[in-house]
Amino acid sequence: MQFENAIAQYQRATQKFLSSISNLSRLREDQIQVGVTPKTAVYHDDKVTLYRFQPVVAQPIPIPILICYALINRPLMVDLQAERSLVANLLHLGLDVYLIDWGYPTRADRWLTLDDYINGYLDRCIDWIRTQHQLPAINLLGICQGGTFSLCYSALHPGKVKNLIVMVTPVDFHIPAALLNCQGGSTLGAAAIDIDLAVEAAGNISGDMLNYEFLMLKPWQQGVQKYLDLIDIVDDEDRLRNFIRMEKWIFDSPDQPGEVYRQFLKDFYQQNKLIQGSVMLGEQRVNLGQIKIPVLNLIAEKDHLVMPASSLALGQYVGTQDYTVRSFPVGHVGMYVSGKVQKTLPPVIAEWLQARVNEP
Amino acid sequence: MIEKPVQTADLGNTSFWDTVIKSWMDLSSTYWHAAYEQTLDRLTQLPPLGLNREVNLKLLRAFDAWARLYPTGLAYQQVLLEVQLRALEELLQTLTAMAQQGEPLKDWVQLQQLWGNIVDRVFEATFVAEPNLRVRGSFVNAINHSRICQQELMEVWLNWMNLPTRREIDEIHKTIYELRKEVRRLQQALARDEL
């Protein structure tokens, strides 16, 4: 690269950026919509809301599917933009889709436990859907931490889940060289982070702090590179809108209830109790071997938050004979927003469920 | 009590920058030892006396926690600095190797992507290494310890002002949380009996 060329490139980039200011100045925060697919709030439980998306086919698959997202970030990632919406694609493939929105926990919720979320809120949402549809069991799709919740739930309430799908879900938390896990104490325990001290100091763990942790997994890419790359797309209004939509989603992070954070980090990250069959929710012990229903495990091959090996471990511990794995060549977030994945992933889910509709 | 700063991982051969950083850290450590541990630190460990004993104890503890944050923060900054220096070193080696193979950089975008990839990779490799993870952990735990000590002082002031403290509000929230669970259990039992 010659010096003159570098100067010329810099000049072109500057001109492009300046000429794109008009695009930026036209955008307004309230025009950046997420979660555009029509839906209705059908059930409320404290701060938790259960949504039902409006079906778009006359005869949906008779067993509805409930999407259980993580407590980290907002669940509308599955419906971020109209043309790349996992939910919209599932609806068009004939599914009847429900979604749990956990809401924004406040300091009043700091004593909520994993037991309250899994055996409480999640169980009551599932009971509500079962009652409305007069079904003994429904399909459950758990995403990321929500997948871990779904695994625990399916192990404890086997009669209420007909088919289980888990997507980018951590199962083995002691995968070597996984930075997120190491920083959570998978190798050093309290020497990496003293969870009791953190919860005592903060009460609830702030969403901003968690975001900082996630950004610091790839500080250059997440903190610098993506904004430099913005120069390339800033003159394309659609792509710019998509970029800002993603920013809006990433930094819309609810706080984590202190007790939930304490148990999740200590039992799952630090002590890896899920695969040891020693996680306790209330009085009940979670044993993945009790999951005898069909399981579909969806993995992102380039995931740096939930390493593929962490999700793949599920096969060793789950008790079912009907276990399927599908992987996609994207990262964690790419599972929801990649155009290519949104062409292939929803049909995989729909076909897998359709094939099991008539099974007892 | 917060752990003392620990040694960072040795990630490679000693370079000019390693020597500079080590000298800087040694100097800081010497000042820390002479200026705090031998003087004020001993003072903060003394048991206070008199009417304001408890308040003074909290004050001294908060000061000690804040002071101990300094060396852990410095050790963490050192690791971050090492990441940048090692990434720069690796970038220069890569650029040299590319030039020797007749593959010069095409544009500044390629340079920035190459640098970014190297920085993130070095950062990850650095912080999965246990000694560095320990440095980071000491810093994070020192921050939280300091925060708790500050909150205890704040609670003293809130008590003086006859204002509710965080601890008291947490107690109320916990009571409400337990009562709500109890109500839900009773409602479920009632519903079962009605069936």
Asked whether the predicted pLDDT for residue A178 surpasses 50, the reply is: yes
Tokens of B166: 């965080």
Query: Quick one: B181 and B94 in the same domain?
Result: no
Q: Is A219 near chain B, with CB under 8 Å? A: yes
Write the DSSP assignment of B5-67 as a string of letters. Answer: P-PPP--SS--HHHHHHHHHHHHHHHHHIIIIIIIIHHHHHSPP-STTHHHHHHHHHHHHHHH
Q: What is the pLDDT, as a whole number, of residue A327?
A: 96
- Tens of pLDDT, residue by residue over B72-124, are 999 999 999 999 999 999 999 999 999 899 888 888 788 888 999 999 999 99
Asked whether the predicted pLDDT for residue A355 surpasses 80, the reply is: yes
Annotated active-site positions of A, please?
A: 144
Query: Quick one: B158 and B117 in the same domain?
Result: yes
**CATH for the stretch A33-354:** 3.40.50.1820
Longest dimension (CA), chain B: 85
Query: Quick one: B24 and B106 in the same domain?
Result: yes
Q: Is A137 near chain B, with CB under 8 Å? A: no
**To the nearest whole number, what is the mean pLDDT of chain A?**
92
- Tens of pLDDT, residue by residue over A102-141, are 999 999 999 999 999 999 999 999 999 999 999 999 999 9
Asked whether the predicted pLDDT for residue A267 surpasses 90, the reply is: yes
Lowest mean pLDDT among A200-209, A311-320, A333-342: A333-342
Asked whether the predicted pLDDT for residue B11 surpasses 70, the reply is: no
Separation between Cα atoms, residue A65 and residue A19, nearest integer Å = 46
Query: Quick one: B158 and B79 in the same domain?
Result: yes
3-class state of residue A360 by DSSP: coil
Query: Quick one: B170 and B80 in the same domain?
Result: no
Structure-token match 């500080």, residue found: A219
Structure-token match 């009590």, residue found: B1
Q: Is A1 near chain B, with CB under 8 Å? A: yes
Q: Is residue B11 part of a domain?
A: no
Contact between A71 and A103 (Cβ < 8 Å): no
Higher pLDDT, A261 or A336: A261
Q: What is the pLDDT, as a whole number, of residue B15?
A: 67
Asked whether the predicted pLDDT for residue B174 surpasses 70, the reply is: yes
ipTM here = 0.87
pLDDT band for position A203 (50/70/90)? Answer: very high
Asked whether the predicted pLDDT for residue B5 surpasses 60, the reply is: no
Q: What is the mean pLDDT of residues B132-142?
A: 96
Q: Is residue B4 part of a domain?
A: no
Q: What percent of chain A has pLDDT over 90?
A: 75
Q: What is the pLDDT, as a whole number, of residue B184?
A: 93
Q: What is the pLDDT, as a whole number, of residue A230?
A: 83
Q: What is the pLDDT, as a whole number, of residue B12?
A: 52
Burial class (CB in 10 A: 0-12, 13-18, 19+), A264: buried
Asked whether the predicted pLDDT for residue A181 surpasses 50, the reply is: yes
Q: Is residue B79 part of a domain?
A: yes
Q: Is B166 near chain A, with CB under 8 Å? A: yes
Q: Is residue B6 part of a domain?
A: no
Across the interface, do A187 and B133 touch by the CB < 8 Å criterion? yes
**To the nearest whole number, what is the mean pLDDT of chain B?**
86
Contact between A351 and A326 (Cβ < 8 Å): no
Q: What is the pLDDT, as a whole number, of residue A1?
A: 57
Asked whether the predicted pLDDT for residue A264 surpasses 70, the reply is: yes
Query: Quick one: B91 and B102 in the same domain?
Result: yes
Q: What is the mean pLDDT of residues A203-207?
A: 96
Separation between Cα atoms, residue A131 and residue A124, nearest integer Å = 10
Instruction: Sort out which chain B residues have CB atoms less than 8 A from A192's CB and list them.
Output: 133-134, 136-137
Separation between Cα atoms, residue B27 and residue B17, nearest integer Å = 15
Alpha-carbon distances, residue A202 vs A155, A197, B170 (angstroms):
32, 9, 12
Picking from B149, B177, B182 by the largest number of A CB atoms within 10 A of its own CB, the best residue to mutate is B177
Query: Quick one: B29 and B97 in the same domain?
Result: yes
Number of domains in chain B: 2
Q: What is the pLDDT, as a whole number, of residue A3?
A: 66
Contact between A253 and A72 (Cβ < 8 Å): yes
Asked whether the predicted pLDDT for residue A165 surpasses 80, the reply is: yes
Domain with B78, as residue range(s), is: 16-163
- Structural domain spans, chain A: 33-354
Asked whether the predicted pLDDT for residue A21 surpasses 80, the reply is: no
pLDDT band for position A171 (50/70/90)? Answer: very high
Asked whether the predicted pLDDT for residue B127 surpasses 70, the reply is: yes
Q: What is the pLDDT, as a whole number, of residue B6?
A: 46
| Residues A227-245 as b or e (16 or more Cβ within 10 Å = b) | eeebeeebbeeeebbbbbb
pLDDT band for position B1 (50/70/90)? Answer: very low
Q: What is the pLDDT, as a whole number, of residue B2?
A: 41
Across the interface, do B113 and A183 touch by the CB < 8 Å criterion? no
- Tens of pLDDT, residue by residue over B177-195, are 999 999 999 998 998 888 7
Contact between A83 and A42 (Cβ < 8 Å): no
Q: Is residue B137 part of a domain?
A: yes
Query: Quick one: B178 and B90 in the same domain?
Result: no
Closest residue on chain A to B129 (Cα): A177
Q: Is B150 near chain A, with CB under 8 Å? A: no
3-class state of residue A143 by DSSP: strand
Q: What is the mean pLDDT of residues A209-213?
A: 93
φ, ψ (nearest 5 deg) of residue A149: -60, -45
Q: Is residue B10 part of a domain?
A: no
Asked whether the predicted pLDDT for residue B44 surpasses 80, the reply is: no
Separation between Cα atoms, residue B115 and residue B118, nearest integer Å = 5
Picking from A220, A222, A260, A283 by the largest number of B CB atoms within 10 A of its own CB, the best residue to mutate is A220
Nearest to A27 by CA among A195, A239, A216: A239
Contact between A267 and A120 (Cβ < 8 Å): no
Q: What percent of chain B has pLDDT over 70?
A: 91
Contact between A85 and A35 (Cβ < 8 Å): no
